[in-house]
Amino acid sequence: MEPLMQLYFSPGACSLASHISLREAGLPFDLKKADTKTKKLEDGSDYYAINSKGAVPALKLDNGQILTEGVAIMQYIADQKPESGLAPKNGSFERYRVQEWLNYITSEVHKSFSPLWNSAADPAVKEYASANLFKKFDWLESQLKGKKFLTGDAFTVADAYLFTVVNWTNFLGIDLAKWPALAAFQARVAARPKVQEAMAAEGLNKKAA
C-alpha cells in the first residue's frame, strides 16, 4: 500500500487550517495527534523527533520529508491539487494576494492570540493583548464587508487559516457580535462540509463550530 501523508495536529490548534486544506483538496492523509504540552504522540513517542520546534502542524510527505510551518504546508497542499482552487497558480499575482493574507494572518492575527491562552499572564497584559487583537478584528471587518471570502468568491487556504484562528474566540469567550462581517465569514466557512468533517475528526464540539 502507498504510504499516506501524515498530518501532525492538536485539536482546534492552528493545524486545523492544514487539516481543512487537506480535506478541501481531497487528498488522502492520516491524522497523528500530538500533545503540544508534553510533546508526545499518542503512542508515547517524542514529537520533537518529528518537529524539533515542538509545534503543530507538521506534514510528513509520502517521501519521508517533513514540512513544518502552516503557511508552507497549506500552500504545499494547495499545489498538490491546483484544480481545487485552494491557491491560485504559483507565480501569478493572485497567488501573491493569497500570500499577503497568509502572512498577515500568521504574523498579525495568529500570534496576537498567544497571551490570551496564558493562564499565568498578568491581567494588564491580557487587556493589552485583547485591545491589540480587537484592532486587527476591526480591520478584518472592514476587509470582509460585502465579500464572501478574503480574496473574493473563491475559498482559499487563507480562508481556512483565518477561520481557524478566529475560531479560538469560542474557547476564549470573545463575542464576535461587534464584527458582524467577520462573524458571518466564520459561519460561512464553518458551514462547509469539509470544514465540518475536519472539526468532527478533531473532536471539536458544536460550540467551537
Binding residues vs ligand GSH (CB under 6 A):
13-14, 36, 54-57, 69-70, 106
Minimum distance of ligand GSH from residue 68's CB (angstroms): 6
Minimum distance of ligand GSH from residue 113's CB (angstroms): 8
Q: Which is nearer to ligand GSH, 57 or 88 (CB)?
A: 57
Beta strands in the chain (DSSP E): 5-9, 29-35, 40-41, 58-60, 66-68
Q: Which is nearer to ligand GSH, 36 or 99 (CB)?
A: 36
Cα 157 to Cα 194: distance, rounded to the nearest angstrom: 13
Nearest to 15 by CA among 60, 79, 46: 60
Minimum distance of ligand GSH from residue 171's CB (angstroms): 12
Q: Which is nearer to ligand GSH, 65 or 146 (CB)?
A: 65
Q: Which is nearer to ligand GSH, 50 or 56 (CB)?
A: 56
Minimum distance of ligand GSH from residue 1's CB (angstroms): 29
Q: Which is nearer to ligand GSH, 54 or 115 (CB)?
A: 54
Minimum distance of ligand GSH from residue 64's CB (angstroms): 20
Nearest to 169 by CA among 108, 113, 105: 113
Burial classification of residue 197, based on how many CB atoms lie within 10 Å of its CB (0-12 exposed, 13-18 middle, 19 or more buried):
middle
One DSSP character per residue, 148-202 reads SBTTBSS--HHHHHHHHHHTHHHHHT--GGG-HHHHHHHHHHHTSHHHHHHHHHT
Q: Which is nearer to ligand GSH, 69 or 108 (CB)?
A: 69
Minimum distance of ligand GSH from residue 56's CB (angstroms): 4
Q: Residues with Cβ < 8 Å from 104, sequence gap 6 or more?
A: none
